[in-house]
A and B are shown apart, each in its own frame.
Chain A
């Protein structure tokens, strides 16, 4: 009954989305009925949420009469993985996607009070149209509630790589971010339809973009750390197509986040902002398409199915193609806003947007280049980290340099850009660059990365200079902390790229290996068992100077499904991480992989700061703008 109730709830929600779209499209011709759009959106959101909760319940109970549960769960799994297994598969994660989409529409209908009513209705109509496509996809091509008869005694289990506490939160966080951007998309489409592209739209859009951006940042940072410790490869970013698929919406959202401020404060960059809002969510959909269709090979082996791929491609053509067409037709009638000088806050933000767009374009081209080349010449190639690092590295440096001065500029025009104020950071940069010369075998990109990171760490605080800190708005604090986070992450990435020490060796028990400043001794190897796995566990003693610690890396074997995973043992010090992996046995020797990674934790610490800054800015925005009606003049623009 649970599965049937869930399916019924989904169909009802589908019908309500249809109704919502119809009401919004018919609009004024319906008279008072049009006010029903918002309540319908709320009901639709609640029903979808109900369906999702029911699926979670099925997974927690390991009801193997449901095909999806039988294929992806197992009653011997710990509770948390039975719970998180709900979205560790194609159908469940699509249901999560639709749930977030509907819930976002419902929330928008509940809280948005400042947008002109016509625009809000058009936006909810667009959101309903989005939901319809994905409901259709779920119900026709990926029904999560399909029954299995007869029911097997037990399920087939969840991919052990995914049996990690990180998985419980990484996908939902990312999805909240991806799909949160759908509201920006719908607001942009709504504004284009009603020809009301202006500051009102930007202010309605801003908290959504900020919130989605914060969640995307957290999701990406968490995913990066998960890959780092769970895959046992010692890397934190592989330029894998699926990683790129999450990075592209993030880059678009980051650009949008900045341009939206120009539109909200100054009324400029209208066409550009609308464009970015469309692109940001389109990138989310393109990411989903790339992952599910299997047109690119990736370590994220999701349910790969060309039929599903065609379905999502169809949705993509309809939504993104439609929105871009609407954009091309309508945007000529969008009034350009206030003019500004090249040297001004707007000018700096435009530069930021251009560079972010170039990075986005680079990642996009790099990710799809293999497909393009094969389509044209039949030749198989792959694009790897050398391309991405070489192209995006210098662009990030330019962005960092821009951050020295950008936040200090005035709106509209700055005749005397305060070059003196950035003298301090500039000196710090030069000194840091000088210090990196001590290490002669460092590449120039990491060297400049460290230098600019040091400068940026100083420069990021400049917007606080001369302010009463207690009265400084949260949005400014948010900006400062996020920009500082970029500097911190750059330090981590540059150190990891240039100073990592690696030792790969086969060691006998009792033997010692050296990696960086550490001596690592293999003391012994023992078998151990967990709830649904068995493992061999290495006992290592690592010493540096007078301090010594024990490390126990494991090589785990899971029986359902049969898979081996490496559980790296990592110890964190202030100046870096020691990362140890136990490999296969070779006679009386054990393969060992050891890394000393100076300051590597700064990468995720910086990422966390970036997200925290965004969170502060979001709180600041919500507090400042709650209930504040727009001046009439702005509503008219």
Chain B
């Protein structure tokens, strides 16, 4: 290489750096932890009823031929409050929602449901996060669509925003067929 070419080397390296940085800025890294359970059978778990008068959620119930949306939530979780109206909307559209309440107690849950509405067909209790880990979920709120054969079809991390309802409904229809 001639001396001139060498002199351009730093500039070329720098251009490479800028290209990589610009790419990263335009496509921010996805840091959410995806569950490896999507496409597999739901794990075996049994979340005891949170409220004595209502059913809990257990793996055995999931294979009854009907799909459902399993929603991990908690009364202490602020984004869950934001998600509540969207869940009610999904329920009106025919989605069966079963909740799993994380590290919670019945009184707080009753208060939460009274304030934010109650879209749940069943509410299981997950006092130490066992069920959550079995699903490969990393936080609340988080939702999974489980089809009639008990296979996890779809995972949604974080609250479902109103503009994401269409996407969730499409997945729901897929799980039904």
Contacts and interface: CB of A to CB of B under 8 A. Distances in A.
Contact of A317 (B10, B18, B29): B18
Given A317-B18, A328-B8, 12 more contacts: A286-B17, A295-B24, A295-B29, A297-B31, A309-B21, A309-B25, A321-B18, A324-B11, A328-B7, A371-B20, A374-B29, A375-B24
A372 B21 contact: no
A295 B21 CA distance: 7
A293 interface: yes
A321 B21 contact: no
A372 B19 CA distance: 9
Interface in A371-419: 371-372, 374-375, 380
A368 interface: yes
A436 interface: no
Interface in B1-54: 3-4, 7-8, 10-11, 14-15, 17-18, 20-25, 28-29, 31
A372 B10 contact: no
A286 B14 CA distance: 10
A164 B9 CA distance: 43
Contacts of B29: 295, 297, 374, 380
A320 interface: yes
B40 to A, nearest CB: 22
Contacts of A332: 3-4, 7
A310 B24 CA distance: 10
Interface string A106-141: 000000000000000000000000000000000000
A313 interface: yes
B51 to A, nearest CB: 29
Given A324-B10, A327-B10, A375-B23, A316 B3 contact: no
Nearest to B17: A368
Interface of B: 3-4, 7-8, 10-11, 14-15, 17-18, 20-25, 28-29, 31
A327 B24 contact: no
Contact of B25 (A295, A324, A328): A295
Contact of A368 (B10, B11, B20, B25): B20
A380 B32 CA distance: 12
What does DSSP make chain B's interface, helix, strand, loop or mixed? helix
A309 B21 CA distance: 9
Given A324-B11, A325-B11, A306 B28 contact: yes
B24 A324 contact: no
A294 B4 contact: no
19 contacts: A275-B10, A282-B14, A293-B25, A295-B21, A295-B25, A309-B21, A310-B25, A313-B22, A321-B14, A325-B11, A327-B7, A327-B10, A328-B4, A328-B10, A328-B11, A331-B7, A332-B7, A371-B20, A371-B24
B124 to A, nearest CB: 26
Contacts, number: 61
A306 B25 CA distance: 6
A313 B20 contact: no
B21 A293 contact: yes
Residue of B11, B20, B21 most packed against chain A (CB within 10 A): B21
Interface of A: 271, 275, 279, 282, 286, 289, 293-295, 297, 306, 309-310, 313, 316-317, 320-321, 324-325, 327-328, 331-332, 368, 371-372, 374-375, 380
Contacts of B10: 275, 279, 324, 327-328
A310 B22 CA distance: 8
A438 B18 CA distance: 50
Given A321-B11, A324-B11, A325-B11, A313 B18 contact: yes
A445 B31 CA distance: 35
Contacts of B4: 328, 332
Contacts of B3: 332
Contacts of A271: 7
Contacts of A294: 28
Question: Lowest 3 CB-CB distances: which A-B pairs, in order?
Answer: A295-B24, A324-B11, A328-B7
Given A375-B20, A375-B23, A324 B28 contact: no
A562 B31 CA distance: 23
Nearest to A372: B20
A151 to B, nearest CB: 24
Nearest to B10: A324
B68 to A, nearest CB: 32
Contacts of B11: 321, 324-325, 327-328
A313 to B, nearest CB: 6
B21 A289 contact: yes
B17 A324 contact: no
A316 B28 CA distance: 19
Nearest to A295: B24
A275 B9 CA distance: 11
A374 B17 CA distance: 14
Nearest to B31: A297
Nearest to B18: A317
Nearest to A361: B13
Residue of A306, A327, A375 most packed against chain B (CB within 10 A): A375
Residue of A275, A295, A325 most packed against chain B (CB within 10 A): A295
Contacts of A375: 20, 23-24
B14 A320 contact: yes
B25 to A, nearest CB: 5
Contacts of B8: 328
B5 to A, nearest CB: 10
Contacts of A371: 20-21, 23-24
A339 to B, nearest CB: 16
Contacts of A320: 14
A271 B3 CA distance: 12
Contacts of A279: 10
A372 B15 CA distance: 13
Contacts of B15: 321
Contacts of A325: 11
Nearest to B15: A321
A13 B169 CA distance: 56
Given A293-B25, A331-B7, A324 B20 contact: no
Contacts of B23: 371, 375
Contacts of A309: 21, 25
B4 to A, nearest CB: 7
B95 to A, nearest CB: 33
Contacts of A317: 18
Nearest to B24: A295
Contacts of A321: 11, 14-15, 18
